[in-house]
Amino acid sequence: MKQLETLDYIVFLIYFVIVAGYGYWIYTKKKAKEVSTTDFFLAEGSLTWWAIGASLIASNISAEQFIGMSGSGFAMGLAIASYEWMAAATLIVVAVFFMPIFLKNKIYTMPQFLAQRYNPTVATIMAVFWLLVYIFVNLTSILYLGALAVQTVSGFSFTLCTIFLAIFAIVITLGGMKVIGYTDVIQVLVLVLGGLATTYLALNLVSNHFGFGDNFLKGLSLLKEQADDHFHMILNQGQMMIPDGQGGTKDAYQDLPGIAVLVGALWIANLNYWGFNQYITQRALGAKLEVARSGLLFASFIKLLMPVIVVLPGIAAYVLYKEGVFQQEMMYDVGGKMVVKSDNAYPVLLNLLPVGLKGLSFAALTAAIVASLAGKANSISTIFTLDLYKKFFGKTASEVQLVRIGRWAIVVAMVIAVMTAPQLQHFDQAFQFIQDFTGLISPGVVAIFLLGFFWKKTTANAALVGALATIPTGLLIAEVFDNLPFMNRMGYTFLVLMAVMIIISLLDKKGQQKVHGIEVDVSEFRTSTSFAIGAVFMIGILAALYIIFW
C-alpha cells in the first residue's frame, strides 16, 4: 500500500503553515486587548456570517464523518446521509425559532439558559452531563478516528498520531473562539476541496476498474449499477444486513429505522446537536440575529454537499472491495478471527490516490479533525470555566484568571482524550457508537429546552426530573423492548419525559410561582425576505433528494 511521498508532505506542510500562521496572526493581532471571557469563548461581535457558517461546518465535519460516516456508507450506503440532509433542515429551524431566544436573553452557554429558566441545580447537573459526553464520547471519538485515519495513510504509530493531532488542536484552541472561527474558514475550504477531489478520484478508480478509464460520471453510474441496494434513503426492516464488527451481521434498520429518519427521532438527535449543543451554538451566540441566521443558512447549504464528500467514497470503497480490491486492508483481527472493519474504508481509499492529490486529501481530513477537536475543546473549556469553576471555585476570579483557567481546561481535556482514545478500537462503525451514547441524553435535553422555550408553566422540579431520568428511561425502554432501534428508543424516551415533565409541572403549583424568566418575542421569529427565499429553496432541494433516492 502506498504511503505519503515527498510531494504529499509538501502539500500537507503548506496547509499546516497557512493555518498555523493565520491563526497566530489573528491571535497576536488581538492579544493586547484580550481580557474578557466573552471575547475568548465567543469572539463576541467579531465573526461574520460566512465565518460563522464555515466554523459550524468545520467543527461539525470531522473524523466522525470522513471516517465514521464513510464507514457507514460502505456498510449501508446513502441512507446514512439522512444525518447530513436532515441537519440542513434542522439548521433552518434553529435559525428561525431558537437563535432569537438565545440572543435576546444574552445566553452564552447552555447551562446558563437552564439556570436562568429553571434553577442552578438543573444547570449544574446538565453541565456535568455535557462535560462527560463531550470529553469521553465526542472528543475521544474524534481523536481516535482521526488518529486511525492518519496512521493508515501516513504509516506513523497510532500513539504518535493522537499526540500530533491533540497538539495541533491545542495550538489553535488556546487562541480563543476568534482564532478558531477564522481559521475554520481555511479549514472548511480545504476539507471541501480536498473532499471533493477524493470523491472525484474515487469515482475514477471505479470507472478504471471496470475498464472505462478516467470517467467520474461513469464511475457514479457504475456505483448505482453495482450497489443499487446502497442508494436508498429509507430502509425497511430486513432490507439490508451489514457487518456488526464481530464477524457477524445485523439489520441496518437498527441504525436507521425507516420513516423515523424523516418524521421521528432523528429530529430529536438533530435538535439536540444543532440547537442545544454548546459545541455548535457557541459559534453564533456572540453575533447579531441576522448575522447568526445568515451563518446558519450558509452552513445549511454546505451540508447538502457533505454526503457527496463523505458517503460516496464509502460506497465506492464497497464496490471496489466486492471486486477484490484492498480486501486484506479492510480486515482486522477480533479474537483471532479476521472480520471486515467498515471504518477502514476512507483511509484505505486515500492510499490509492495519486501523489500530491493524496496530500491534499490528507490535509482535508486533518483539517476536519483538528477543527472539530478545537471546537469541542473550546466548548468543554467554556462550560467548565463559566458554569462550574466560576460558580463554585472562582467566584471572585478576574476575567484574565478565568481565561487562564479556560486554557488549562483545554489542555487537560485533550490529555484525557489522548489517554482514552485507544479504548474505542473495539467498535466497528464509530459513527453509530457516537449516536448510541449521545442518544441516551438527547431526549432529556430536547424536552427540557423545548418546554422551557415554549411552555411557561414548566417548573424547575420537572426539568430536574427530566435531566436525571433521561438515561435511566432510555436504558429501561431498551431493556423492555428487545432489539428496539436506538432511534426509536430516543423517540419513546422523549415522549415519556415530555409527559412526565408536563404532569409534574401541572401538579407543582408552588413551583409554577417560582418559574424564572426567559423572554420570548414571537415577532422575532419573522425572518428577512432573503433568508425566507433561501430556506424555501433549501427545503425544495431536500424534498427532491428524498423523492429521487427514496
* 70 band by pLDDT with thresholds 50, 70 and 90: confident
pLDDT tens digit string along 264-286? 788 998 998 888 887 777 777 77
- At position 478, the amino acid (one-letter code) is A
Rounded Cα distance between 276 and 278, Å, is 6
Higher pLDDT, 98 or 192: 98
* 536 band by pLDDT with thresholds 50, 70 and 90: very high
Higher pLDDT, 122 or 425: 122
State which of 14-18, 335-339, 471-475 shows the largest mean pLDDT.
471-475
DSSP reduced 3-state for 240: coil
- In this predicted structure, what is the pLDDT of residue 436? 67
- The C-alpha angle with vertex 274 and arms to 518 and 379, in degrees rounded to 5, equals 80
- In this predicted structure, what is the pLDDT of residue 416? 92
Residue 339's H or E segment, with its range, is strand 337-340
Neighbours of 108 (CB within 10 A): 21
What is the second-level CATH architecture of the domain 6-25+38-438+520-548? Up-down Bundle (1.20)
- In this predicted structure, what is the pLDDT of residue 278? 76
- In this predicted structure, what is the pLDDT of residue 506? 92
Is the pLDDT reported for residue 321 higher than 70?
Answer: yes
Rounded Cα distance between 161 and 418, Å, is 10
pLDDT tens digit string along 372-391? 788 788 888 888 888 888 88
Radius of gyration for the alpha carbons in the chain, expressed in angstroms and rounded: 23
26 bridge partner residues: none
333 bridge partner residues: 338
pLDDT tens digit string along 170-205? 877 776 666 666 667 777 777 777 778 888 888 988
- In this predicted structure, what is the pLDDT of residue 540? 94
pLDDT average, residue stretch 330-334: 66
- In this predicted structure, what is the pLDDT of residue 173? 74
Euclidean distance between the first and the last CA atom of the chain, given in angstroms as a whole number: 37
pLDDT average, residue stretch 346-352: 75
- In this predicted structure, what is the pLDDT of residue 47? 72
Rounded Cα distance between 389 and 230, Å, is 48
Rounded Cα distance between 444 and 465, Å, is 9
- At position 5, the amino acid (one-letter code) is E
List the single range of 59-63, 111-115, 497-501 with lowest mean pLDDT.
Answer: 59-63
* 1 band by pLDDT with thresholds 50, 70 and 90: very low
- The C-alpha angle with vertex 13 and arms to 7 and 14, in degrees rounded to 5, equals 95
DSSP category for residue 516: P
Rounded Cα distance between 23 and 171, Å, is 9
* 499 band by pLDDT with thresholds 50, 70 and 90: very high
State which of 135-139, 147-151, 242-246, 533-537 shows the largest mean pLDDT.
533-537
Is the pLDDT reported for residue 451 higher than 80?
Answer: yes
State which of 68-72, 165-169, 422-426 shows the largest mean pLDDT.
165-169
- In this predicted structure, what is the pLDDT of residue 541? 93
* 3 band by pLDDT with thresholds 50, 70 and 90: low
pLDDT tens digit string along 516-531? 678 888 888 889 999 9
Mean pLDDT (the chain, rounded): 82
Give me the torsion for CA of 494, 500, 505, 509, rounded to 10°.
Answer: 180
Helix and strand numbers, DSSP H then E, in the chain: 27, 4
Cα dihedral across residues 61, 64, 67, 73: positive or negative: negative
Cα dihedral across residues 447, 450, 455, 460: positive or negative: positive
User: Contact at 8 Å (CB) between 491 and 260?
Assistant: yes
- In this predicted structure, what is the pLDDT of residue 33? 53
Length of the chain, please?
Answer: 550
337 bridge partner residues: 334
Q: What is the pTM of this model?
A: 0.82
The residue with cell 434553577 is: 119
Domain ranges of the chain: 6-25+38-438+520-548
Cα dihedral across residues 195, 197, 199, 205: positive or negative: negative
The residue with cell 415554549 is: 454
State which of 11-15, 242-246, 340-344, 498-502 shows the largest mean pLDDT.
498-502
User: Contact at 8 Å (CB) between 258 and 491?
Assistant: no
- In this predicted structure, what is the pLDDT of residue 96? 92
Higher pLDDT, 540 or 514: 540
User: Contact at 8 Å (CB) between 165 and 150?
Assistant: yes
pLDDT tens digit string along 410-421? 899 999 989 888
* 423 band by pLDDT with thresholds 50, 70 and 90: confident
Report which of 111, 70, 77, 175 is spatially closest to residue 406, judged by C-alpha positions.
175
- In this predicted structure, what is the pLDDT of residue 430? 55
- In this predicted structure, what is the pLDDT of residue 64? 67
Higher pLDDT, 461 or 193: 461
